[in-house]
Chains A and B, each alone.
Chain A
Amino acid sequence: MPDNTGEMVPATIPELGRWLAANAKGDRRPVLPVGGRTSLGFGMPADPASVEVATSRLDRVVDYPARDMTVTVEAGCRVSAIQEALKMEGQRLPVDVPLAHRATIGGAVASDAGGPRRFGFGTLRDYVIGIRCATVDGRLFKAGGRVVKNVAGYDLCKLMVGSGGSLAFVTEVTLKLKPLPTSSAMGWACFDSGDTVSDLLGDLSTSRARPVAIELLGPKAARQLTAESRQALPVGPLLLGVAVEGNPVEVEWQVDVLDRELRAGGATDVTWARDADTKKLWSSLTDYQLGGESPVSIRACLRPSRTVDFVVAAIDAGVAVQAHAGNGVIHGHLPDDTIDATTAEEIIGPLRELAAKSGGQLVVERCESGWHDALSIWGPPRGDWPLMTSVKRQFDPDGLLSPGRGIEAAMQQLSDDGMDQQ
């Protein structure tokens, strides 16, 4: 039963299933799956009538056959705890999850959490090879399995990654793993102009070195990162970070190559952090997307080659900006003096247009409560949204799971507004 805070904390997955089944037949209260509460601000706010169903007690490591390089864990396992267990075997999940000490793997999967290393290693969709979930009416189902290559049945793992807890309640995942590198280094270089960085990024894409992360920060983000990581980073209008990993020989060789390339590409200052010194930088870079106290946080994705244009435009608009430059994925935080939704929209509108022109989109990841209706959270509808709505309806015909939070809610809004002509 939900406790007096209105939260339901099942001790086992069958118990979760029974509770969901009873709810679906009985009270039919809206259900909000909750992990480490690090991403609950995403999208539209939750229905206040929702029962929060927390995975905090579903935290078993179900199976870790290290020699097969896979691990099966319950959804409530903290990401950092999983990484610690993997480290003992010289392995890791090479996906950066913000606030990994709090974030659960179930929540990370639902929100498709990722960070700088997506350039070298991809995202969670590349690592979730098996999944178990509960439907909103309490049926327990699985897809995929525990082997690294498997095409039996529809790949519902992919569907659940990034589904925001709106299709089913993720209860267990099986992950494919990678060896833990023995060495790493991160180089930071300053640039005076966007054009210089743009050219350099083009050159880096054919460098003999193979960076695992390419980060581009505006001055505000650079200052915050410096403070947060307590590392002396160079100061300038644009700060570029490149990271390499591997054995010490590979790392040193790549540091040499990249150092030369960064300087030849017009960097005004280059510094390198190695091994233990990079640890705090990685976590600060990963957590930066959460945005602290910023009134509005945005995320754009676009063609990688358009990243610098977007970053420069965002900086000009006063946005604190961090780009995973190799991937064209950009996080931005609007300035503290953004006083209302109208002011925010004035900043977001042109950037959204630029993202769309660059083959992508801009979404509002978080904003002050009460601004959601005035800001368009998801932006203009894309061609595949109606199909997403159909998928949602198949899983949750009565809209009881994380209601109103995702794209299907935006579609509903559009059709309510009479704008949906399809």
Chain B
Amino acid sequence: MASTQPAPDGTVPVATELLIRFRRLLGDDGVLAAEDELIVYECDGYVVEKKAPDVVLFPTTTEQVSEIVRTCNEFDVPFVPRGAGTSLAGGCLPVGGGVMISLTRMKSILEVNLQDRYAVVQPGLVNLHLTRHLAGTGFHYAPDPSSQGACTIGGNVATNSGGPHTLKYGVTVNHVLGLEVVMPDGQVVEFGGVAEGLAGYDLVGLFVGSEGTFGICTQVTVRLTRDPDAYRTLLGIFETVGDATQAISQIIAAGIVPAALEMMDQGIIEAVEAAYGFGFPLDAAAVVLIEVDGLEVAVDDEAERIIRLCQEQGAREVRRAETEQQRALLWKCRKQAFGAIGRLSPSYCTQDGVVPRTKLPEILEFITDAGERHGVRIVNVFHAGDGNIHPILLFDERDEEQIARVFRASDEILGKCIDLGGSVTGEHGIGVEKLEFMERLFTEDDLDVMASVRMAFNPRGSCSPGKMLPTAGACGMEHIERSHPGKQAAS
């Protein structure tokens, strides 16, 4: 198990002089360096691998971020940006220690322009705060990760976050028009802008999802989307997981693209019901939350078609959210399902595989088998319409033997996703957790090309080293290695 031991040889200590410089730049209030305070930053939502940074900085301006980066380069210290730390793959783990740049104090909404359908925000803005700010305008920001009450727009940009409604509306990259980025050499560069279709390479599209390895975004211009004219929210209740996944496949195959199509199995329903008391049937094997949106004249018809398809697949019952309160509670249950897991287990590890949508029945069967084979309890709550599974493996982090079994089950599940023509991550990112899968998904040539693209942005490899690609970084950063690679530590 990884722990917060003193940094082993080979990591980079932050010199006293560096600390003085940072304090001068940010004030005492903007610098955290005491060991007990740093523990908070030793991991994100991926708790099995930990490493505290040597210092955490809280800049409030782009200029400060740029100055921090220049100073890090001067002292040859690696740096990593961090939003709210909700990543589930170790995306903001400070591999090799060094400086963590927390963007949570850069959280302003700088401009909202409904006429041109964009908003300019700082990266530390919490996703839900933008949603709330826009409420009543008739427009919204479409990506709605389940962690939207905590996660930041900058973090969403880094991981190309999804969310339940991305089935119809697309993921973060489909909603980012422009970025201001502090490059790994400290230069401030603008990509894209308020106009769409600018000539040249789509550096915005490339940057989104680069997991902090191409620079630090300090300003984001996001596209705003019209609120739907109307929606209907349904809950399909199924006797077996197989029936539920077949129904999902049938809905997609019928050419219906609902706004959201989410599944929860019995294990998670039990926890969610205990936490929120929605009235889920505890004896159902699975429930499917389906939302259709569109014109008022069309949504009832679409809802009826979906209800029929569910019934044809043996749904016990399909309920409708009759009031806005019911709908809100239903969505709260879904989005805060992770918060209820504490009722089931002290720790958990969420996987993020993707399969072609028609392979859902097969992968869910495999997950059940894998859980049984390894003696690991697994519950499921996921974006079924996209084929994006989130098996949640429950364990006790104090028991190393259990962790080893969790890793083996996870590996098999993700391996099966690859075999079925899918991917090991739909929205959480590679981070450090899935690095070793990169060589299974991609060839050496694929990875070489990706590494060469990183060279264009981050030639020294000092920005977010050890992420995304299995090679540590670039020239000069060979000394940075993960002090406690999770899997080795646990097996």
Q: Which residues of A contact B (CB under 8 A)?
A: 65-70, 90-91, 112, 114, 122-123, 125-126, 135, 139-143, 145-159, 161-163, 167-168, 178-180, 202, 205-206, 208-210, 246-247, 249-250, 253-254, 299, 301-305, 327-329, 358-361, 363, 378, 382-385, 387-388, 390-391, 393-395, 406-407
- The answer, yes or no, to whether B26 is at the interface (CB within 8 Å) is no
B297 to chain A, nearest CB (A): 5
A residues within 8 A CB of B193?
359-360
A68–B441 touching, CB < 8 Å? no
A385 to B427, CA, bound (A): 29
CB of A305 within 8 A of CB of B201, answer no
Interface contact B194-A151, CB-CB below 8 Å: no
Q: Which of B147-155, B313-321, B454-462 forms contacts with chain A? A: B454-462
Pick from A154, A254, A304, A383: contact of B454, CB under 8 Å: A154
Known: A150-B426, A151-B159, A302-B195. A158 touches B356 (CB 8 A): no
Q: Known A149-B354, A161-B205; judge A384-B297 contact (CB<8 A).
A: no
Beta-carbon contact of B426 and A147 below 8 Å: yes
A393 to B255, CA, bound (A): 43
Query: Quick check: B427 and A149 within 8 Å, CB to CB?
Result: yes
Select one of B387, B421, B438, B445 contacting A153, CB under 8 A.
B438
Determine the residue in chain A with the shortest Cβ distance to B211. Answer: A151
Q: How far is the CA of A247 from the CA of B299 in the complex (A)?
A: 11
Q: Are B191 and A384 in contact (CB under 8 A)?
A: yes
CB distance from B315 to the nearest CB of A (A): 20
- Checking A146, A303, A394 against B421 with a beta-carbon cut-off of 8 angstroms, the contacting residue is A146
Give the complex CA separation of A286 and B456 in angstroms.
Answer: 36
A148 touches B428 (CB 8 A): no
CB-contacts of B435-460 with A (<8 A): 437-438, 441-443, 445-450, 452-457
CA distance A326 to B237 in the complex (A): 41
Interface members, chain B 175-201 (any A CB < 8 Å):
183, 189-201
Instruction: Write out the residue numbers on chain B whose beta carbons fall within 8 Å of the beta carbon of A68.
Output: 252, 356-358, 387
Closest Cβ–Cβ distance, residue A31 to chain B (whole Å): 17
Residues in chain A near residue B140, CB distance under 8 A: none
The answer on a CB contact under 8 Å between A205 and B354 is no
Whole-angstrom distance between the Cβ of A33 and the nearest chain B Cβ: 16
- Cβ A329 vs Cβ B453 within 8 A: no
B71 cross-chain contacts in A, Cβ below 8 A: none
Contact B201 A167 (CB under 8 A): yes
**B160 contact set on A, CB distance < 8 A:** 151, 155
Contact A158 B196 (CB under 8 A): no
In the complex where A153-B450, A210-B229 touch, is A301 in contact with B198 (Cβ < 8 A)? yes
Determine whether the beta carbon of A67 is less than 8 Å from that of B249.
Answer: yes
**Contact B437 A126, beta carbon cutoff 8 Å:** no
Expressed in whole angstroms, the minimum distance between the Cβ of B159 and any Cβ of chain A is 7
Can you name 10 A-B pairs with beta carbons within 8 Å? A90-B255, A114-B197, A123-B197, A142-B446, A149-B386, A155-B160, A178-B257, A327-B197, A407-B200, A407-B201
Please state if B298 and A247 are interface contacts (CB–CB under 8 Å). Answer: yes
Nearest residue in A to B383 (C-beta to C-beta)?
A149
* A155→B196 contact, CB < 8 A: no
Q: Which residue of B lies closest to A208 (CB)?
A: B229
Identify the stretch in B98-106, B166-174, B273-281, B343-351 within 8 Å (CB) of chain A at 4 or more residues.
B166-174
Asked if B115 is at the interface of the complex by the 8 Å CB criterion, the answer is yes
Q: Residues of A contacting B201 with CB < 8 Å?
A: 159, 162-163, 167, 388, 391, 407
Q: How many angstroms between the C-alpha atoms of A13 and B427 in the bound complex?
A: 31
Say if the beta carbon of B483 comes within 8 Å of chain A: no
The 8 Å CB contact of B203, one of A246, A254, A361, A387, is: A387
A-B residue pairs, 9 tightest by C-beta: A158-B205, A360-B195, A179-B255, A149-B426, A390-B456, A67-B253, A394-B452, A68-B356, A150-B423
- Asked if residues B197 and A301 are in contact (CB atoms below 8 Å), the reply is yes
List, in ascending order, chain B residues with CB within 8 A of A390's CB: 456-457
Interface presence of B399 (CB below 8 A): no
A-chain residues with CB within 8 Å of residue B195 when the two chains form the complex? 301-303, 328, 358-361
Given A68-B358, A154-B468: A159 touches B449 (CB 8 Å cut-off): no
A162 CA to B452 CA, complexed, in Å: 19
Q: Is B388 an interface residue (CB 8 A)?
A: yes
- Give per-residue flags for B282-300: 1 if the beta carbon is below 8 A from chain A beta carbons, else 0: 0000000000001111100
**How far is it, in angstroms, between the C-alpha of A390 and the C-alpha of B428 when the chains are bound?**
29
